[in-house]
Structure 1
Amino acid sequence: MDHVLSALHERLGTLFGDRLVVLAGGTRLSSRAGELHQLGARHTLVLSTDDHAPLHDSQVARWVPLGIAGGFVAVEQNRLTRLLTSPPGHVRDVLADFDPRGEALVISTPYVHTPEFAGRPVLNARRPEWVELENKTTIDALWDELSAPRAPAVVLDLDFEALWAATLELDRGAGVVWSGDGPAINGGANFVRRVRDRAEALEAFEKFAPKCHFVRVMPFLEGIPVSVHGIVFPDGTAVLRPIEMVVPRRAGQARFLYAGCASYYDPPTRIREEMRNLARRVGERLRETVDYRGTFTLDGIATADGFLPTEINTRYGGAMVCFEDALPQLPLSLVQVALVAGHDLGVSSIEFEELLVSAADGYRHGTVGANVRAVDQDEVVERPIVFTEWSCRFAHPDEAPHGVLRLRPSPLGARLELDFAAEQLSPGRPVVALTVAAFALADQEWGTALGPLEPAVPVDDEQITAPVVELDAVTA
């Protein structure tokens, strides 16, 4: 597939070659400066929400901290949106010095929906009709439109007794899940709660009431949370391999812990194909109805009833790092920017799909971690670890580690990170149980106080039943 890579580099060069580029966002976005330089960009200005300058070549990029780091993604992104919409004087001065003629191209975070920045086009800005599709309380209409199997659900406003009645009606014995339509940026299970009794319902209601307008109630689904990415091209939708969403449950609580993503897990073959087929249909529908371009994620649960979808995210998701690392010679995030900007990439969706799926099936990766508030960390501490089935301990000096557990400084106190040694893992198994074991070790040895966690339970081929379509859901 070398010819596909060559074609992509050539076409990206026609977009960024000999251009000034402004990157407005965090550390991950800042790393694109080197890729832009390789594509022929004249110079890059990095306006960073991260106050700590990365190592960089001043001939390649100029780095300027914005001083608006917020810790939480939603807080930081809201501050960045205000800055892009109404840049303060010192930011305008920096822009004028870097780009006096106002001709630079601007790239911001995957969440951005601001079309321009001080008169300069934001290439990857999302259209309002694309952003609206992320609402968890309206997405069931899309599944029905596409004849996709799904769990029954009801959408209600903030009426506790009505929500409790729906909870009793939809509970299959394991409780239900409430999903709120929260702020524009609603990720990391912020407004998702498992409800098994009236006390948990009251706790969830108190959390949702100040921030949400509607709540979706659906049965709790046992299985591994999974996501599949689609990338919409002008000629079709490239569909990638499934990715495990690492989401342990907090034992005895209604909350979940979103701990990142990993590509080690191989769902049963039928579920993989169900996911990829539905993602292709979703991508084509998005292209037909809202002229969508670029990456979206289709999220759901790999259950004994097959894949049951829960939401889509119409943006370049964090799990795309699994594909970036599988094919590092391809500037994948810049492909996303070019597609959203309507730039011709010179390759077909099928060629792109074959390139990425082949690379990602052959190279497994994970980005697993959690924010820690109980520890105020001022230096990086890391130790190699080994797993014994589902338990975890620090590795002895003379044994090959199965991964590395790390605690590093963070604006929220500390960040706990888990890196796996792919060659030491059992092929195809989810990593959520390993994550639970490693985080328990961190609680014990480093006082991270994440608390008792429970893993999601995977299904195998023998457990999968024939697909069931449930369209008799209650509607509000």
Structure 2
Amino acid sequence: MDHVFHALQARLRTLFGDRLVVLAGGTRLSSRVGELHQLGARRTLVLSTDDHAPLHDSEVARWVPLGIAGGFVAVEQNRLTKLLTSPNRAVCDVLADFDPAGEALVISTPYVHTPSFAGRPVLNARRPAWVELENKTTIDALWDELSAPRAPAEVLGLDFEALWAATLRLDRGAGAVWSGDGPAINGGANFVRRVRDRQEAREAFDVLAAKCEFVRVMPFLEGIPVSVHGIVFPDGTAVLRPVEMVVPRRAGQARFLYAGCASHYDPPARIREQMRNLARRVGERLRETVDYRGTFTLDGIATADGFLPTEINTRYGGAMVCFEDALPQLPLALVQVALVAGHDLGVSSIEFEELLVSAADTYRHGSVGANVRALHPTEVVERPIVFTEWSCRWAHPEEVPHGVLRLRPSPLGARLELDFVAEQLPPGRPVVALTVAAFALADQDWGTSLGPLEPAVPVDDDELVAPVVELGAVTA
């Protein structure tokens, strides 16, 4: 599908060619700089939330750290939003020096909803009506509009006894899940708690009451957390392949650990089609009702009863990294910017879908990791690993590794990262159990103190009993 690449490159050049571009915050900014340069951008200014600038050509990009790294996405984004809305004198001086005519285009984070920055348009700013759709306590109305199967749920205010009573009504034997929502940015399972008894309910209430306005109560659903992306074009919705959300459970606790995403898992065919069909209907509904453009995520659980949705995120989700790496020659994040800005990309939604699904089904990838507060390393350390049975150990020199564990410095202390060697993994298996085993090794030998974790359980019986020993050969 070379013609799709050529058409996208040509249309993106009409947007970014010979323009000054400001990148304000965000992730993988070094990749965006190179992509913009290839598309003919005159020069790029990076106002970075990361205090450590990567190596870059000063003729192509100027890198200015903002000094507002917060570790947590919500903290960092709130600081960035304040800066975009009311830039300080130092930032204004940098902008004036880079773009004295005030003609630069601005690209910010996927969360941004500020339409302009010091008089310059923020191309990927989300409209208020789009942001409102992320509210976890109102999303059930959308499932009902689309006649989509869903778990029963009740939405309540901050009344502990009422929430506890709802928990007792909805508990199917494995507890309930409380999901809070309100004015704060909500992601990474920050405001999600599993409630199995009154003590866990009280602990959950104390956390959510401080940050949220409403709480949705639903039964705990056994299965693998999964997400599917839709990309809304003017002519239709491109729907991508499912991605596993790697969310181990903290043993003996009400909390979950959001550990990223991976595309190694293949849900049963019926669930894959349920997810993709619902995502297409959601995308069309968003286009019809709020004139939506660009990427959204549809999240839920792959259960024995099929796919049951839980939320949507009306933004470019973190799991899009799986598709970026499957097609590194295609500037997907800039395609998102162009769509949100209303720019004509010159390709149809179906052409775009066929291109991405084919590539991502062939190339499997993950972005798995966890924040670590117990350590404050000053340099990066990494070691190859192999999985045996249900455990993980360091690889011997003569072995072909199944992955790599890495510990690097982070504003929160450290970041533990896990990279899998796709060719050494059983095809189609979820990676959450492997993640639990690898993180246990990091706790044991590196002192990461993540604590005991338990994996989510896949829905098929054969998956439940398949041992990890079926991984690829470990001898060179």
Same-fold call, TM cutoff 0.5: yes
Matches within 5 A, 1:223-372: 223-372=223-372
Q: Which residue matches 2:45? A: 45
C-alpha deviation, 1:462, in angstroms: 8.3
Preserved contact between residue 259 and residue 368 of structure 1 (Cα < 8 Å): yes
Q: Which residue matches 1:426? A: 426
Per the alignment, do residues 26 and 249 of structure 1 end up closer, same or farther by CA in structure 2, a change over 3 Å counting?
same
Deviations along 1:166-219, one digit per CA (max 9) or x if unpaired, are: 000000000000000044410010000000000000000010111111000000
The answer to whether the aligner puts 1:55 opposite 2:58 as a matched pair is no
Q: Which residue matches 2:384? A: 384
C-alpha deviation, 1:29, in angstroms: 2.7
Per the alignment, do residues 442 and 461 of structure 1 end up closer, same or farther by CA in structure 2, a change over 3 Å counting?
closer
Please tell me the residue identity of whatever aligns with 2:125.
A
C-alpha deviation, 1:59, in angstroms: 1.1
C-alpha deviation, 1:460, in angstroms: 2.0
Matches within 5 A, 1:4-403: 4-403=4-403
C-alpha deviation, 1:270, in angstroms: 0.1
1:451 match: secondary structure: coil
Q: 1:274 & 1:32 partners in 2: Cα distance?
A: 34
1:134 match: secondary structure: coil
1:185 match: secondary structure: coil
C-alpha deviation, 1:35, in angstroms: 0.3
Which consecutive unaligned segments of at least 5 residues does structure 2 have?
Answer: 464-476
Deviations along 1:403-423, one digit per CA (max 9) or x if unpaired, are: 000111111111000000000
2:200 match: secondary structure: helix
Q: 2:101 & 2:60 partners in 1: Cα distance?
A: 20
Preserved contact between residue 298 and residue 312 of structure 2 (Cα < 8 Å): yes
C-alpha deviation, 1:27, in angstroms: 4.7
Per the alignment, do residues 252 and 7 of structure 1 end up closer, same or farther by CA in structure 2, a change over 3 Å counting?
same
Per the alignment, do residues 8 and 187 of structure 1 end up closer, same or farther by CA in structure 2, a change over 3 Å counting?
same
- Give the 4+ runs in structure 1 shifted more than 6 A: none
Q: 2:307 & 2:313 partners in 1: Cα distance?
A: 17
Please tell me the residue identity of whatever aligns with 1:44.
T
Question: Comparing 182-191 with 267-276, which one deviates more in the overlay?
Answer: 182-191
Preserved contact between residue 21 and residue 41 of structure 2 (Cα < 8 Å): yes
Preserved contact between residue 23 and residue 45 of structure 1 (Cα < 8 Å): yes
1:330 match: secondary structure: coil
Deviations along 1:333-376, one digit per CA (max 9) or x if unpaired, are: 00000000000000000000000000000000000000000111
RMSD across aligned positions (CA):
1.0
Q: 2:215 & 2:459 partners in 1: Cα distance?
A: 28
Q: Which residue matches 1:470? A: none
Question: Comparing 340-349 with 52-61, which one deviates more in the overlay?
Answer: 52-61
Q: Which residue matches 1:459? A: 459
Per the alignment, do residues 443 and 218 of structure 1 end up closer, same or farther by CA in structure 2, a change over 3 Å counting?
same
C-alpha deviation, 1:461, in angstroms: 8.0
Preserved contact between residue 27 and residue 109 of structure 2 (Cα < 8 Å): no
Q: 2:184 & 2:413 partners in 1: Cα distance?
A: 25
Deviations along 1:277-313, one digit per CA (max 9) or x if unpaired, are: 0000000000000000000000000000000000000
Preserved contact between residue 30 and residue 48 of structure 1 (Cα < 8 Å): no
Per the alignment, do residues 462 and 427 of structure 1 end up closer, same or farther by CA in structure 2, a change over 3 Å counting?
closer
Deviations along 1:35-74, one digit per CA (max 9) or x if unpaired, are: 0000000000001011101111111101111111111110
Per the alignment, do residues 184 and 345 of structure 1 end up closer, same or farther by CA in structure 2, a change over 3 Å counting?
farther
Please tell me the residue identity of whatever aligns with 1:29.
L
Q: 1:224 & 1:215 partners in 2: Cα distance?
A: 23
Higher relative contact order (CA 8 A, sep 6+): 1
Q: Which residue matches 1:408? A: 408
Q: 1:462 & 1:139 partners in 2: Cα distance?
A: 33
Q: 1:387 & 1:65 partners in 2: Cα distance?
A: 40
Preserved contact between residue 106 and residue 121 of structure 1 (Cα < 8 Å): yes
Q: TM-score with structure 2 length normalisation?
A: 0.96
Preserved contact between residue 49 and residue 68 of structure 2 (Cα < 8 Å): yes
Preserved contact between residue 268 and residue 461 of structure 1 (Cα < 8 Å): no
Q: 2:351 & 2:389 partners in 1: Cα distance?
A: 40
Percent identity of the aligned residues?
90
Q: 1:364 & 1:142 partners in 2: Cα distance?
A: 31
Please tell me the residue identity of whatever aligns with 1:345.
L
1:202 match: secondary structure: helix
C-alpha deviation, 1:321, in angstroms: 0.2
Q: 1:72 & 1:462 partners in 2: Cα distance?
A: 38
Q: Which residue matches 1:417? A: 417
Preserved contact between residue 407 and residue 416 of structure 2 (Cα < 8 Å): yes
Q: 2:227 & 2:127 partners in 1: Cα distance?
A: 23
2:261 match: secondary structure: strand
Q: 1:15 & 1:202 partners in 2: Cα distance?
A: 52
1:209 match: secondary structure: helix
1:31 match: secondary structure: helix
Preserved contact between residue 184 and residue 212 of structure 2 (Cα < 8 Å): no
Deviations along 1:222-268, one digit per CA (max 9) or x if unpaired, are: 00000000000000000000000000000000000000000000000
